[in-house]
Structure 1
Amino acid sequence: MREMSVTEQRYKAVLAVIGDGRTVSEVATDWGVSRRTMHRWLLRYEGDGLEGLNNRSHRPAQSPHQMPAAVEAMVLEMRRSRPYWGARRIAFELARKRVEAAPSESAVYRCLVRAAVIDPISRQRRRETWKRWERGAPMELWQFDLVHGFLLADGTSAKALTGVDDHSRYCVSARLMARERTQSVCDGFSSALNTYGLPAQVLTDNGKVFTGRFAQPPVEVLFDRICRENGVDHILTQPRSPTTTGKIERFHKTLRVEFDTRQVFKTLKTAQEALNEWVSYYNTQRPHQGLFDATPESRFHAGDDQPRHRLTPRPERNGEQWVSRRVASNGLVSVGYQQV
């Protein structure tokens, strides 16, 4: 025996009321529905006949919270031009541009999922086993490191000495160099000290351009000496502790993606000019999510009423402090276990 469709079952229930004269309560009980549902079937049959008993979509006729098509197009264009922007950044930029009916972060996220631009992700966050720390004011601590991979047209690649202020994430140094040499690193470090003043502490890894404390025998390299002569406490990271310099590592990740270190520059000079332009944007315009979308500049200069000490000028060297070293065939000179 053929099973009745949903429409046929509803029609039979309606006929029991209007044809057989039974009460709504009786028929509702027989069919296992509420009296309200039974009355709704009767009204729909009265208005639309048998078609009124078909299943209807529960989708609302209007969606007042649906993103306007023009705004959705702006969201997708922003994501296309800057694939590294997430829902939060796009929502922030739309609000900053004062777009009418600017969507929320969750609305932008749903838009990107609908367009298959991103995959839906679990909203449950992993439980972190480490705690995030941050200095309480600018100029308390700078983090320094070297990052490689700046491609040049002659087939070589350059490195950059980078430094960020721990409290504000302000980039105090981004100086390119053809080779990782002590003098080049210290020139960049000294330039940052002359420009912004002396921080209380500097944090680096144990690279030989930063320290000679672990050399055999231990020596004081130029970076250490600059810190000592200017009263800057030089802190070294523990081995295999990448989260200690987490802010400079995060800066490197942003640099690689947004500045795009894969591009090839004609010369070291043009690369430095492009890097300077991006650093200026990073410091003054780019909202930083770790700072609740404030810019690094707004935090770094918040304490400008406090005097900042500058780099101590190095005295002129006399002949008693000179040393003689033979220049190797590759043009390098070793002084104090350091190549210059």
Structure 2
Amino acid sequence: MTVEIRLRAVTEVLDGAPVVEVAEHFGVSRQTITTWRKRYQATGLDGLADRSRRPHSSPNRIPPDTEALICEMRRHHRRWGARRIAHEMQREIGNSAPSRATIHRVPIRNGLINHQEQQHKKVYKRWAREVPMHLWQLDLVGGIHLADGRECKMLTGIDDHSRFVVVAAVLSSPSGTAVCEAFIAAMTRWGVPFEVLTDNGKQFTGKFTRPLPVEVLFERTCREYGITARLTKRRSPTTTGKIERFHRTLRRELLDETGAFSSLADAQAAIDQWVHAYNTARPHQSLEMATPASLFRPRTFAEPTTGEVVRPATVATAACSPAASAQCPSTVLARATDAIEFDVRVPPSGVVGIAGIQQLWIGKNHAGKIATLWMDLTSVHVIVDEAVVKTVLSRLTTTDLERLQMRGARPGRSTPAVAAVDITTADERLGAIEIDRTADRNGIVIVRGHQLKLGVDTAGTRVTLRIDGDLIFAAAGNHLIKTMPNPLGINEIRRLTGVRKATTPLPPPPPAGPQTVQRRIPKNGRVMVAGQRIRVGAIHAGIIVNIVVEDHHFRVLDGTKELSLHARTTSKPLRVFNAHRPQHRKLSPEDRRTRMS
């Protein structure tokens, strides 16, 4: 039918009909009519039949041998997807390997992929710890069949950060004792984690034991080793999704293929061999195709606080023995005892936390700045703009320093300031000590309930108070600003915080010179300075001026421009240094209605 219609159109054109009219009559373009005519004149009636639109050549198509290699990988490893095949081909043929999208189309074109709907349409929130050995996920899994008909269970554990399998022990009986023995053996080999995450099984927790909750052996083991035991919500397996996904891979790649094992030892040997390949050779998609062993780092062994556990002489020997040398990714790390430091941005509140253990008040005046926290087992120094602004006693332990180092803290520089001292046991012969405080808007510093008046000109200034016997010396800006009697008793001094030993001499007093005050010019143009009224002029109303107070004159400045010069007739001291804020009067009902209209 198509050929007949095209022949009628060509015949009309050959009989002399205009091409435009014929194209409009048959509902096609005039270029199509011209093409039909040329093909009919060249090859006759066969030229009007449909032709293939396939290009004569495809320069961008992958070579046949590469396509055959992709299909061969897919047939031999039916669990491999396009991402895994692309990774393996990248390792085999280098940069000439095709892209992941191209590899995905090859199995589809050759009928090697069965399309299926997405099993989980819900989007889950993914999370992972930032460093290894912070969290282990533990679980019990069945499906280990023996030739005698028994079904055994296995304790599995995986590192949350690196996906490194730390324990895969087949248990003849999944009792609490067997679980703890396998757990302790894993810690003996790889080190003690900070936290473990399990479900609410009776081997892991006695929280839901009736009639009263009890502490099971696993919880006691975690308590003795200083491990935080965390539990998932009930009927919430997605919380331990990493270990559950590992179980799925274990079943598909090993248990479903091997069938029943002849004995418990054979099952353990087969699982150990497969776990070794999983840790060291098998790339992991969630790790950007890296192997778990390349990201895992063990810790040193930590003795439990109570009880005794039989373990090898050294952890390094146990973890990197000849039998496990291929699986050991690196040497055992040493515990952090030296000083460390890291940078933090000061929040608007001015309070910075350290590992959730200690909080430091740096000050709102440093909000938004980058502060360096230098810390060891004795002191914590806060460095802002290469200057130490605060020193306090450290409440961190060796484990806390190690945890911060694993989270990215760098080795600390040499001690930036004098170490803080613990004065809780100080006696009457205590030497000179120093503390840092900030004066309020009235120039007052409060120390253990005692008000130390430093002057309004020090409002908002960070001052150093040196307590030496019966005197207190206040210094700010490398100058001694005031000396006053010491109202603090020895018991009050023992309760001070942020104390350090005084090792430097007292700074000199500030050089003598005129003082400067600020005033906001009111509507009448007159201001009060040291008990004397000065007429500046109503034309300057609303602006803030600087008034230099000399011995015999008041010099009024607007920036660097001198507005007026007045003779000083009083000798009263200066009490107000800063400009007053404008007072907003309350609106009357009439003014409020007028403003709203």
Would you call these one fold, judging by a TM-score over 0.5? yes
CA distances 1:98-148 after superposition (whole Å, capped 9, x unpaired): 2785343333333333333333356x8965253222222221211000111
1:48 to 43, 49, 63: 43
Separation in structure 2 between the aligned mates of residue 218 and residue 22 of structure 1, nearest angstrom: 99
Q: What value does the CA root-mean-square deviation take over the aligned residues?
A: 2.6
Q: Does 1:218 align with 2:209?
A: no
**Is the CA contact 1:194–1:311 (under 8 Å) kept in the aligned structure 2?**
no
Aligned to 2:34: 39
Write out the 4+ residue segments of structure 1 that deviate beyond 4 Å after TM superposition.
Answer: 124-127, 313-317
Q: Which moved more, 1:46-55 or 1:171-180?
A: 46-55
Q: Does 1:12 align with 2:8?
A: yes
- Secondary structure in 1 matching 2:223: helix
Separation in structure 2 between the aligned mates of residue 171 and residue 126 of structure 1, nearest angstrom: 25
Residues 235 and 100 of structure 1, relative CA distance in 2, 3 Å threshold: closer
Could you tell me how far 1:7 is from its partner in structure 2? 1.5
Q: Does 1:141 align with 2:130?
A: no
Could you tell me how far 1:172 is from its partner in structure 2? 0.7
Separation in structure 1 between the aligned mates of residue 95 and residue 33 of structure 2, nearest angstrom: 45
Q: Does 1:161 align with 2:155?
A: yes
Separation in structure 2 between the aligned mates of residue 72 and residue 120 of structure 1, nearest angstrom: 20
2:289 maps to a residue whose letter is: D
Q: Which moved more, 1:255-264 or 1:183-192?
A: 255-264
Aligned to 2:194: 200
Aligned to 2:379: none
CA distances 1:266-302 after superposition (whole Å, capped 9, x unpaired): 222222121111111111221222222222222224x
Counterparts of 1:161-200 in structure 2 under 5 Å? 161-200=155-194
Separation in structure 2 between the aligned mates of residue 126 and residue 231 of structure 1, nearest angstrom: 37
Name the structure with the higher helix share.
1
Q: Give the gaps of 5 or more residues in structure 1.
A: 318-340
Aligned to 1:263: 259
Q: Which moved more, 1:62-71 or 1:230-239?
A: 62-71
Aligned to 1:273: 269
**Is the CA contact 2:159–2:166 (under 8 Å) kept in the aligned structure 1?**
yes
**Is the CA contact 1:164–1:248 (under 8 Å) kept in the aligned structure 2?**
yes
- Aligned pairs, number: 306
The percent identity for this pair of structures is: 49
- Secondary structure in 2 matching 1:146: strand
**Is the CA contact 1:190–1:311 (under 8 Å) kept in the aligned structure 2?**
no
Which structure has the larger Rg? 2
Could you tell me how far 1:235 is from its partner in structure 2? 0.7
Separation in structure 2 between the aligned mates of residue 68 and residue 111 of structure 1, nearest angstrom: 12
Aligned to 2:105: 110
Separation in structure 2 between the aligned mates of residue 264 and residue 65 of structure 1, nearest angstrom: 49
Aligned to 2:78: 83
2:25 maps to a residue whose letter is: D
Separation in structure 2 between the aligned mates of residue 149 and residue 315 of structure 1, nearest angstrom: 35
Q: Which has the higher contact order (CA 8 A, sep 6+)?
A: 1
Could you tell me how far 1:223 is from its partner in structure 2? 1.6
Separation in structure 2 between the aligned mates of residue 74 and residue 270 of structure 1, nearest angstrom: 35
Q: Does 1:72 align with 2:80?
A: no
Aligned to 1:290: 286
Separation in structure 1 between the aligned mates of residue 5 and residue 171 of structure 2, nearest angstrom: 81
Q: Which moved more, 1:23-32 or 1:270-279?
A: 23-32
- Secondary structure in 1 matching 2:149: coil
Could you tell me how far 1:68 is from its partner in structure 2? 3.8
Aligned to 2:125: 131
- Secondary structure in 1 matching 2:93: coil
Aligned to 2:226: 231
Residues 53 and 107 of structure 1, relative CA distance in 2, 3 Å threshold: same
CA distances 1:34-86 after superposition (whole Å, capped 9, x unpaired): 12212222222233222111111122222344444333333333233222222
- Secondary structure in 2 matching 1:89: helix
1:80 maps to a residue whose letter is: R
1:312 to 284, 292, 303: 303
Aligned to 1:24: 19
Aligned to 2:452: none
- Secondary structure in 2 matching 1:98: helix
Separation in structure 1 between the aligned mates of residue 109 and residue 68 of structure 2, nearest angstrom: 12
- Secondary structure in 2 matching 1:183: helix
Separation in structure 1 between the aligned mates of residue 151 and residue 176 of structure 2, nearest angstrom: 18
Aligned to 1:249: 244
TM-score when normalising by structure 1? 0.81
1:312 maps to a residue whose letter is: E
Separation in structure 2 between the aligned mates of residue 159 and residue 70 of structure 1, nearest angstrom: 45
1:51 maps to a residue whose letter is: D
Separation in structure 2 between the aligned mates of residue 192 and residue 126 of structure 1, nearest angstrom: 33
- Secondary structure in 1 matching 2:71: helix
Separation in structure 2 between the aligned mates of residue 28 and residue 210 of structure 1, nearest angstrom: 82
Could you tell me how far 1:315 is from its partner in structure 2? 4.5
1:11 maps to a residue whose letter is: L
Separation in structure 2 between the aligned mates of residue 273 and residue 250 of structure 1, nearest angstrom: 22
Residues 120 and 215 of structure 1, relative CA distance in 2, 3 Å threshold: closer
Separation in structure 1 between the aligned mates of residue 183 and residue 308 of structure 2, nearest angstrom: 20
Residues 316 and 297 of structure 1, relative CA distance in 2, 3 Å threshold: closer
Residues 270 and 111 of structure 1, relative CA distance in 2, 3 Å threshold: same
TM-score when normalising by structure 2? 0.48
CA distances 1:220-264 after superposition (whole Å, capped 9, x unpaired): 322212211111100112211111111111110011111225522
Residues 315 and 119 of structure 1, relative CA distance in 2, 3 Å threshold: closer
Aligned to 1:209: 203
**Is the CA contact 1:140–1:199 (under 8 Å) kept in the aligned structure 2?**
yes
Q: Which moved more, 1:204-213 or 1:169-178?
A: 204-213
Q: Give the gaps of 5 or more residues in structure 2.
A: 310-597
2:254 maps to a residue whose letter is: F
Aligned to 2:55: 60
